[in-house]
Amino acid sequence: EVQLVQSGAEVKKPGESLKISCKGSGYSFINYWIAWVRQMPGKGLEWMGIIYPGNSDTRYSPSFQGQVTISADKSISTAYLQWNNLEASDTAMYYCARRGSGNYFLLDVWGKGTTVTVSS
Protein backbone atom coordinates (compact mmCIF):
# COMPACT_ATOMS: atom_id res chain seq x y z
CA GLU A 1 0.00 0.00 0.00
CA VAL A 2 1.31 3.41 -0.97
CA GLN A 3 1.29 5.71 2.03
CA LEU A 4 2.86 8.73 3.65
CA VAL A 5 3.19 8.54 7.42
CA GLN A 6 3.70 11.84 9.20
CA SER A 7 5.20 12.43 12.61
CA GLY A 8 3.04 13.18 15.62
CA ALA A 9 1.59 16.38 16.97
CA GLU A 10 3.96 18.97 18.38
CA VAL A 11 3.55 21.67 21.00
CA LYS A 12 6.31 24.27 21.02
CA LYS A 13 7.11 27.70 22.39
CA PRO A 14 7.83 30.77 20.26
CA GLY A 15 11.46 30.93 19.24
CA GLU A 16 11.98 27.17 19.39
CA SER A 17 13.06 24.96 16.50
CA LEU A 18 11.12 22.08 15.01
CA LYS A 19 11.51 19.43 12.34
CA ILE A 20 8.53 17.30 11.31
CA SER A 21 8.73 14.28 9.06
CA CYS A 22 6.89 12.43 6.31
CA LYS A 23 7.92 8.83 5.57
CA GLY A 24 6.93 7.24 2.29
CA SER A 25 6.36 3.53 1.79
CA GLY A 26 4.98 1.19 -0.83
CA TYR A 27 6.60 3.00 -3.76
CA SER A 28 9.96 4.26 -5.02
CA PHE A 29 10.35 7.31 -2.77
CA ILE A 30 13.23 8.86 -4.70
CA ASN A 31 11.24 9.11 -7.93
CA TYR A 32 8.29 11.19 -6.77
CA TRP A 33 8.12 14.81 -5.68
CA ILE A 34 6.82 15.48 -2.15
CA ALA A 35 4.89 18.69 -1.46
CA TRP A 36 4.15 20.37 1.86
CA VAL A 37 0.84 22.13 2.45
CA ARG A 38 -0.21 24.29 5.39
CA GLN A 39 -3.71 24.61 6.77
CA MET A 40 -4.18 27.15 9.52
CA PRO A 41 -7.08 26.58 11.93
CA GLY A 42 -10.38 26.97 10.12
CA LYS A 43 -8.67 28.13 6.93
CA GLY A 44 -7.85 26.83 3.48
CA LEU A 45 -4.89 25.01 1.98
CA GLU A 46 -1.63 26.84 1.29
CA TRP A 47 1.19 25.58 -0.91
CA MET A 48 4.55 25.73 0.88
CA GLY A 49 6.98 23.98 -1.41
CA ILE A 50 8.04 20.77 -3.06
CA ILE A 51 11.11 18.53 -3.07
CA TYR A 52 12.39 15.78 -5.33
CA PRO A 53 14.03 13.26 -2.97
CA GLY A 54 16.14 11.77 -5.72
CA ASN A 55 18.40 14.83 -5.89
CA SER A 56 16.88 17.13 -3.22
CA ASP A 57 15.84 19.69 -5.82
CA THR A 58 13.55 21.99 -3.79
CA ARG A 59 11.18 24.75 -4.84
CA TYR A 60 9.55 27.07 -2.35
CA SER A 61 6.43 29.18 -2.58
CA PRO A 62 7.46 32.85 -2.41
CA SER A 63 5.32 33.14 0.72
CA PHE A 64 7.40 30.53 2.55
CA GLN A 65 10.86 31.08 1.09
CA GLY A 66 13.24 31.80 3.95
CA GLN A 67 10.62 30.90 6.57
CA VAL A 68 10.98 27.12 6.48
CA THR A 69 13.41 24.51 5.18
CA ILE A 70 12.29 21.47 3.21
CA SER A 71 14.69 18.54 3.01
CA ALA A 72 14.75 14.80 2.41
CA ASP A 73 16.79 11.78 3.37
CA LYS A 74 16.36 9.28 0.57
CA SER A 75 18.16 6.56 2.50
CA ILE A 76 15.19 6.35 4.87
CA SER A 77 12.48 7.53 2.45
CA THR A 78 11.66 10.56 4.56
CA ALA A 79 10.96 14.19 3.81
CA TYR A 80 11.16 16.95 6.39
CA LEU A 81 9.79 20.40 7.10
CA GLN A 82 11.84 22.51 9.50
CA TRP A 83 11.59 25.80 11.36
CA ASN A 84 14.43 27.54 13.18
CA ASN A 85 12.40 30.18 15.00
CA LEU A 86 8.78 29.29 15.49
CA GLU A 87 6.10 31.93 15.85
CA ALA A 88 2.53 31.68 17.08
CA SER A 89 1.41 32.18 13.49
CA ASP A 90 3.02 28.84 12.56
CA THR A 91 0.24 27.09 14.47
CA ALA A 92 -1.41 24.92 11.84
CA MET A 93 -1.90 21.48 10.39
CA TYR A 94 0.86 20.52 7.96
CA TYR A 95 0.31 17.93 5.26
CA CYS A 96 2.79 16.22 3.02
CA ALA A 97 1.56 14.87 -0.30
CA ARG A 98 3.07 12.96 -3.21
CA ARG A 99 3.02 14.32 -6.72
CA GLY A 100 1.69 11.52 -8.88
CA SER A 101 3.40 10.43 -12.07
CA GLY A 102 2.34 11.25 -15.59
CA ASN A 103 1.60 14.36 -17.56
CA TYR A 104 -0.77 15.89 -15.05
CA PHE A 105 0.17 17.73 -11.90
CA LEU A 106 -1.68 16.07 -9.06
CA LEU A 107 -1.21 15.23 -5.40
CA ASP A 108 -2.44 11.68 -5.27
CA VAL A 109 -1.32 10.44 -1.86
CA TRP A 110 -1.57 12.54 1.29
CA GLY A 111 -0.31 12.06 4.80
CA LYS A 112 -2.78 12.43 7.66
CA GLY A 113 -1.16 15.66 8.74
CA THR A 114 0.93 16.90 11.65
CA THR A 115 -0.57 19.43 14.03
CA VAL A 116 1.87 22.08 15.20
CA THR A 117 0.88 24.31 18.09
CA VAL A 118 3.09 27.25 19.03
CA SER A 119 2.16 28.91 22.27
CA SER A 120 3.91 30.52 25.20
Partner 1 sequence: EIVLTQSPDTLSLSPGERATLSCRASQSVTSNYLAWYQQKPGQAPRLLIAGASSRATGIPDRFSGSGSGSDFTLTISRLEPEDFAVYYCQQYSAWTGTFGQGTKLEIK
Distance from C-alpha of 59 to C-alpha of 34, rounded to nearest angstrom: 11
What are the φ/ψ torsions at residue 75 (nearest 5 degrees)? Answer: -65, -25
Measured from the Cβ of residue 67, the count of other Cβ atoms closer than 10 Å reads 16
**Residue 86 vs 109, nearer CB to partner 1:** 109
Specify the 3-state DSSP secondary structure of 89.
Answer: helix
**Residue 19 vs 112, nearer CB to partner 1:** 112
Q: Where are the beta strands (DSSP E) in 40-119?
A: 45-52, 57-60, 69-73, 78-83, 92-99, 107-110, 114-118
**Residue 77 vs 114, nearer CB to partner 1:** 114
Minimum distance from residue 45 beta carbon to partner 1 (Å): 4
**Residue 48 vs 86, nearer CB to partner 1:** 48
Minimum distance from residue 88 beta carbon to partner 1 (Å): 22
Interface with partner 1 by CB under 8 A: which residues? 35, 37, 44-47, 49-50, 59-62, 95, 97, 100, 103-108, 110-113
Minimum distance from residue 112 beta carbon to partner 1 (Å): 6
